[in-house]
Amino acid sequence: MSELNSKIPEGPLAEKWDNYKEHAKLVNPANKRKLEVIVVGTGLAGASAAASLAELGYSVKAFCFQDSPRRAHSIAAQGGINAAKNYKNDGDSVFRLFYDTIKGGDFRAREANVYRLADVSRNIIDQCVAQGVPFARDYGGLLDNRSFGGSQVSRTFYARGQTGQQLLLGAYGALERQIGLGNVKMYSRHEMVEVVTIDGKARGIIARNLITGELERYFGHAVILATGGYGNVFFLSTSAMGSNVTAAWKAHKKGAYFGNPCFTQIHPTCIPVTGEYQSKLTLMSESLRNDGRVWVPKTKEDAKAIREGKKTAADIKEDERDYYLERKYPSFGNLSPRDIASRAAKEACDDGRGIVPSGLGVFLDFADAIKRLGVDVVKARYGELFPMYKNITNEDPLKTPMKIYPAVHYTMGGLWVDYELMTSVQGLYCLGEANFSDHGANRLGASALMQGLADGYFVIPYTIGNYLSSEIFTKAIPTDHPAFVEAESVAKERAEKLIGTKGKKTVDDFHKQLGKIMWEYCGMARTAEGLTHARKLIQDLRKEFWSNVNIPGTLYEFNPEFDKAGRVADFIELGELMVIDALNRNESCGGHFRLEYQDEGEAKRDDEKYAYVSAWEHTSVDADPILHKEELVYENIKLQVRSYK
């Protein structure tokens, strides 16, 4: 028996969503105007949700911490968005996209949600094209596709190397249109710091105005969090500098369960770390693996010579190279899924065959593609990516292979939500990367954009109505209600404590230290022993943080160091939960690789004991959280060993 009610509709898989929509309760247009919805975050999920709900007639307030909703980090997604259009006539279908996503997630995602995602993927492309998103086209004027990691069909739509940017600008345009029409009130440079609940229902938020530092109260009949992933818990990641877990974490502490926190994605193709000063890692799109071949030298001696600058890639002859992905996974080769490609890179480097001075790097080589297609075709296919790489590294990938290494990129875990995307708190929803829902233990390439937009454009507009239809008699609650006063005073007290600490170490000192702990013990390879040790380290770090952090300036001014400190405080608490979750899951699946559970380097799942979502309930920072299990029931597919060989 499942302890959590995931509210999966009855009926055959392919009909569940239609059944749901046909029976969901509706709100009449006159009542929609009176219902207020708060949307926190304006990336793909948040912007599309805010715009779509405003189009329906709800009164929306949208919040983002950046200076404009267009800056959200969805903008940095490069490669593309999946949709089961089967425009290529290559055998794609909704079921196949559904199956690939479930399998890609190593059988740890909920069937009904993923099927719905695959189903609405087709509407997303239609919607975005209608908005004027300039997708790549072929000479007949129709949409072009490419194939992407973990898939054998060509279903990825793209706009050069800037797909996320173009999709986000489409959603941002839709949002700005609603702002212009007065249906959305936009609050930029605002950060949510508390969820307000009244009688068990989410009724608003406390937000910090990042310009003045003042805390402000906002009411909503429902609250939607679309606040992205928590990859920055590792300090170095491909996330934006400001990406944070604060909103989701505050919701967690107010009763929203956190699902599968240990499922993080390490992306195989990032520019390797070069020094201590580094502030972030840069992704090179996975699409490059369509034409690039990954390799390291066969021998440690050659690798050492390259590291020391005595040899270059060109000095290593063809038969002295180990194209290890092609060797180990012949049917998927360089297009193997991310978790598998990342682990293989780590293995090669652990074996002493890394090719950058730190030892942590492998080659991604375009020489064959250039020979086959010509420089111009390769350049056109990857737009910005080659110049970007050259600019960062001072090396030209058209002449010498790229150097890459895995880096933290995406978090599959997030707030637990039911089929309606509602968290375990009534009226509190979570969309996009911030929720746990669709990617199981590993996300396939080009699926994040799909999920963000599916949630925002096509799911929440239906599911929120089912809840708000029973709220039409609830009048807007004045923000002098005791619950708002209480939530604000909690936020204020905490802020004063932080700024008043005036210790010796900077916020970044703590953040970097946390990142090192997480990468070392909760990164690509985890063990019970390491995780147990890590938990202690994180607890100590938390205590030290609250007694020894130094934040300059005052609360009531523009103070980015203070903003950062609040986020790091939450990351530290989240880090501990991730470690607890990783320790609980005595199996390897997807991005969660426990060294104790493997078959010669391949992840060994334990479906008997762990075919469930772990949904953690917060108790207090000093006590263990409570584990709730949502059993994953597979009615339409057979659980099997996930093989890409």
Partner 1 sequence: MKFNLKVWRQKNAKAEGKLVDYTIDNIIPDMSFLEMVDVLNDNLVRKGEDPIAFDHDCREGICGMCSMYISGRAHGPQHAATTCQLYMRSFKDGDTIYVEPFRAGAFPIIKDLVTDRSAFDRIISKGGFVSVNTGQAQDANNLPVDKAFAEKAMDAAACIGCGACVAACPNSAAMLFVSAKISQLALLPQGGPERNNRAINMVNQMDEEGFGSCTNIGACEAECPKEIKLTNIARMNREYLVASLINE
- In the three-class reduction of DSSP (H, G, I as helix; E, B as strand; rest coil), residue 613 is classed as strand
Indicate the residue among 67 and 486 with the shorter CB distance to partner 1. Answer: 67
539-413-8 Cα angle (round to 5): 135
Q: Contacts with partner 1 in 187-226 (CB under 8 A)? A: 188, 211
- Does 186 sit near partner 1 (CB under 8 A)? yes
Where in 50-109 is the site for partner 1 (CB under 8 A)?
Answer: 51-52, 55, 66-73, 75-76, 85, 87
Q: What is the dihedral of CA 301, 303, 304, 306, to 10 degrees?
A: 130
Which of 12, 29, 91, 275 touches partner 1 by CB under 8 A?
Answer: 275
Our CB check for partner 1 shows the closer of 180 and 309 to be 180
Q: Is 173 left (phi over 0), alpha (psi -120 to 50) or beta?
A: alpha
Among 31, 282, 400, 636, which residue interacts with partner 1 (rule: CB under 8 A)? 282
For residue 273, give every residue at least 6 positions away whose Cβ sits within 8 Å of its Cβ, in sequence order, or none: 236, 281, 358, 360, 405, 407
Q: Which is nearer to partner 1, 324 or 386 (CB)?
A: 386
Q: Which is nearer to partner 1, 60 or 538 (CB)?
A: 60
Task: Please identify which residue in 4, 24, 136, 398 interacts with partner 1, judged by CB under 8 A.
Answer: 136
Which of 19, 28, 278, 643 is in the footprint of partner 1 by CB under 8 A? 278
Among 15-23, 26-34, 157-165, 518-526, which window interacts with partner 1 (CB under 8 A)? 157-165
**Which residue of 15, 301, 493, 557 would you call a contact of partner 1, by CB under 8 A?**
557
The structure tokens listed for 525 are 């390879």
Task: Pick the stretch among 274-282, 397-405, 477-485, 619-627 that binds partner 1 (CB under 8 A).
Answer: 274-282
Residue 39 as a binder of partner 1 (CB under 8 A): the answer is no
**Is residue 273 near partner 1 by the rule CB under 8 A?**
no
Q: Which of 109, 110, 119 is nearest to 7 (CA)?
A: 110
Residue pair 216/207 in contact by the 8 Å Cβ criterion: yes
d(CA 192, CA 447): 27
User: Segment 224-243, which members bind partner 1 (CB under 8 A)?
Assistant: 240-242
| Residues of span 444-463 touching partner 1 by CB under 8 A | 457-458, 461
- Is position 134 an interface residue for partner 1 (rule: CB under 8 A)? yes
* Min dist. Cβ of residue 479 to partner 1 (A): 24
C-alpha to C-alpha distances, 474 to 34, 35, 45, 615, nearest whole angstrom? 9, 9, 27, 30
Q: Least distance from C-beta 463 to partner 1, angstroms?
A: 14
Given the structure tokens 């600019």, which residue do they identify? Answer: 391
Residue (173 or 255) nearer to partner 1, CB? 173
Based on CB atoms, which residue is closest to partner 1, 233 or 325? 233
Q: Does 550 bind partner 1 (CB under 8 A)?
A: yes
Minimal distance, residue 129 CB to partner 1, in Å: 4
Strands (E), 212-263: 215-219, 222-225, 258-259
To the query of whether residue 338 is one of the catalytic residues in this protein, the response is: yes
Catalytic residue among 96, 146, 189, 338, which?
A: 338
C-beta of 274: minimal distance to partner 1 in Å?
6
Answer for which of 63, 148, 172, 187 binds partner 1 (CB under 8 A) is: 172
Q: Are 510 and 541 in contact (CB under 8 A)?
A: yes
| 624 DSSP assignment | P
Beta bridge partners of 224: 39, 429
Q: Are 363 and 403 contacting, i.e. CB atoms less than 8 angstroms apart?
A: yes
Neighbours of 298 (CB within 10 A): 17
Q: How far apart are CA 214 and CA 437, in angstroms?
A: 34
Find, among 163, 176, 177, the residue nearest to 133 by Cα: 163
x-or-dash pattern for partner 1, window 109-128, by CB under 8 A?
Answer: --------------x-xxxx
Closer by beta carbon to partner 1, 123 or else 299: 123
Nearer to partner 1, 394 or 620 (CB): 394
Q: Which of residues 293-352 bind partner 1 (CB under 8 A)?
A: none
Q: Which is nearer to partner 1, 3 or 395 (CB)?
A: 395
- Shortest distance, position 167 Cβ to partner 1, whole Å: 11
The C-alpha atoms of residue 156 and residue 78 are separated, in whole angstroms, by 12
Which two three-digit tokens encode residue 462? Answer: 């239906």
One residue of 2, 31, 131, 152 binding partner 1 per CB under 8 A: 131
Q: In what order do the strands lie in the sheet with 215-219?
A: 190-198, 201-209, 215-219
What distance in Å separates the CA atoms of residue 372 and residue 267, rounded to the nearest whole number?
Answer: 27
Contact with partner 1 (CB under 8 A): which of 143, 525, 627, 637?
143
Residues in 478-507 that interact with partner 1 by CB under 8 A: 506
Residue 365: alpha-carbon gap to chain centroid:
28
Site for partner 1 in 382-411 (CB under 8 A): 387-388, 391-392, 394
Question: Which amino acid makes up residue 584?
Answer: N
Cα gap 95→322, rounded to integer Å:
36
Question: Based on CB atoms, which residue is closest to partner 1, 266 or 615?
Answer: 266
Stretch that binds partner 1, among 9-17, 171-179, 225-233, 434-442 (CB under 8 A): 171-179
**β-sheet bridge partners, residue 612:** 631
Helix (H) or strand (E) holding 205: strand 201-209
Listing DSSP states for 178-198 in one string gives HHHTTSEEEE-SEEEEEEEEE
Q: Does 129 bind partner 1 (CB under 8 A)?
A: yes
Q: Which stretch in 174-182, 313-321, 513-521, 582-590 sits in contact with partner 1 by CB under 8 A? A: 174-182
Choose between 213 and 220: whose C-beta lies nearer to partner 1.
213
Query: Closest approach of Cβ 422 to partner 1, in Å?
Result: 20
Report, in Å, the least distance between residue 474 CB and partner 1: 26
Pairing of β 184-187 and β 59-63: parallel
Least distance in angstroms from the C-beta of 37 to partner 1: 15
How near is the Cβ of 353 to partner 1 at its closest, in Å? 24
Smallest distance from the beta carbon of 122 to partner 1, in angstroms?
8
Of 109, 104, 119, 123, nearest to 48 (Cα)?
123
With CA atoms as reference, report the closest residue to 531 among 475, 623, 596: 596
**Structure letter (DSSP) for residue 239:** S
Cβ at position 509, least distance to partner 1 in Å: 9
Active-site residues, by number, are 338
